[in-house]
Amino acid sequence: MTASKWVRGLRAGLMVLSLGAVAAAAHAQAEVKFIKPENFSDIGDNARDRETAMNQLAEHIKTVAARELPGKQLAIEVTDVDLAGELEPRGVTAQRLRVLRTVTIPRMEFSYTLSENGQVLKSGKASIKDMNYQLSSANRYFESEPLRYEKKMLDDWFAKDLLGKQGIERASR
């Protein structure tokens, strides 16, 4: 390989790396903390279930923030979670199963700060719930999706409170 080809290859590689850095900087950074999850209303039956649910909620928030809030930073401190349904004993082994009813709505409480370049754009406390979680036909998540009702509820909150989109069916508030 000649020196000029090597230099051109190096330049092309550096350009790809710099474009990737610019694209990464354009994505939102989201930080999600769960404050005293052992005191949450309902986030699972055991430590493993709680950890799985917290990871799924945090990843969902980070994914939505990256997609919807490019260039901004979002910090969320979750203070309570009440998953849709309730865990009830079922069968001869009394294995617990999550049973969904219209009265066992998903709810979350958290504080948040949305900023850009170190300047706070919006902050506050949110107490969200979806009283029509089973009736809404607008849930874009498949029935097999874990925490589909909670994810839709968070999507609605993002759209209304952070993005200011009008016309969002707002059962959560």
Task: Look at the chain and report how many structural domains it folds into.
Answer: 1
Contact 83, 43 (CB under 8 A): yes
For residue 1, CA distances in Å to 6, 14, 16, 92 come to: 7, 18, 21, 73
Query: Domain range spanning residue 36?
Result: 27-162
Q: Say if 18 falls within a structural domain.
A: no
**Structural domain includes residue 169:** no
Residue 2 covered by a domain: no
**Gap between the Cα atoms of 74 and 62, Å rounded:** 9
Q: What is the pTM of this model?
A: 0.74
Beta strands 119-129 and 107-116, pairing class: antiparallel
Q: CA 162 from chain center: how many Å?
A: 13
User: Tens-of-pLDDT digits for all 173 residues of the chain?
Assistant: 555 554 455 454 444 444 444 444 445 699 999 999 999 988 887 888 899 999 999 999 999 999 999 999 999 999 999 998 766 666 666 566 565 666 678 999 999 999 999 999 999 999 999 888 777 667 788 888 889 889 999 999 999 999 887 654 444 43
